[in-house]
A and B are shown apart, each in its own frame.
Chain A
């Protein structure tokens, strides 16, 4: 049965789009048929992070308004046969997105896809509400930093009250994904600890993605980090998180960058 997953956070710049691309690609690598939808109307970026920016013809709003068919707007990934992208509109008014229209697109996608991943815009306005509206599962992307944790708490409250599932007395299955984690800074007590975040948010942990240059390198070349450098620490962390999402039990590790011995002894960050 198809699953609708929202990747959300409240706060901007925490890694929603990076995580959507990385987990979408990892699910496709696991043989699932995956559609990723960019809900950030006016500020689309998922196409760029996935390297499909030059192939966008139609977008989500075109489909919602009946200007194009869903099959015309979906872009198939060049590397993975079962990964598809539904881009956001770059120019149109974000009010063009209606709940009824989004609901129609998602039920049509449910017929042919295993996973439908909604990349939420930042904030708690209309776009973010619609991205989570039909979700079965949610990934709350959180940085180990006070403002991100506070916004995540707010988003968790909305997932528990403003989604179709919540209104029907069911629950959205929520997971916290900690990104931009720096183990050395956490060890020095400069960064709020993972245990503290999980205790405060009272939501299970899906994975810990280390701060890494590989994430930037991957977005520079327009490739999900799980495809661009599968052996890198963020790619391995995303691959583990994806398998947990699929129900596997995998030991939670705090992934570390590879460091030289001297740097390790001195507690310096690897560049």
Chain B
């Protein structure tokens, strides 16, 4: 083959990328198939956290942020709730 390469316009073949494509797809699809058909976990968490906290404190639903970060070994769930100034702690007692 090397003799023919003399006449070829491509001197050195690029490294094969197809195995990388396969590996990336296998990892991605394993994850996506697991998620399929399940309700959106973040939406559910957000709704439930909102309803629990709302029992004690009047909340603006827009001010509840739920974020998930996927890491290699652990994933983290970040919940950020903004409380209104001067909320009534008394509510908690009666609630």
Contacts and interface: CB of A to CB of B under 8 A. Distances in A.
Interface of A: 145-146, 149-150, 153-154, 157, 161, 186, 188-193, 196, 200, 265-268
Contact of A200 (B8, B26, B36, B37): B26
Given A157-B33, A266-B4, A192 B18 contact: yes
Interface of B: 4, 7-8, 13-19, 21-22, 24-26, 28-29, 32-33, 36-37
Given A192-B21, A200-B22, A150 B29 contact: yes
B37 A189 contact: no
Contact of B18 (A157, A196, A200): A196
7 contacts: A150-B28, A186-B18, A190-B14, A192-B25, A193-B22, A196-B25, A200-B29
Contacts of A189: 15-19
A61 to B, nearest CB: 31
A267 B4 CA distance: 10
Nearest to A262: B7
A161 B37 contact: yes
B25 A146 contact: yes
Contacts of B28: 150
B32 A193 contact: no
The 6 closest A-B pairs by CB, nearest first: A189-B16, A196-B22, A192-B21, A189-B18, A192-B18, A266-B8
A200 B19 contact: no
A193 B37 contact: no
Nearest to B19: A189
A216 to B, nearest CB: 24
A265 B25 contact: no
Contacts of B37: 157, 161
Given A161-B37, A189-B18, A190-B18, 4 more contacts: A157-B33, A193-B22, A200-B29, A267-B8
Nearest to A157: B36
A271 to B, nearest CB: 14
The winner among B13, B14, B25, B32 for most chain A CB atoms within 10 A is B25
A189 B20 CA distance: 10
Contacts of A154: 32
Contact of A153 (B14, B19, B33): B33
A154 B28 CA distance: 12
Contacts of B26: 200
B32 A192 contact: no
Contacts of A193: 18, 22
Contact of B16 (A150, A161, A188, A200): A188
A189 B14 CA distance: 9
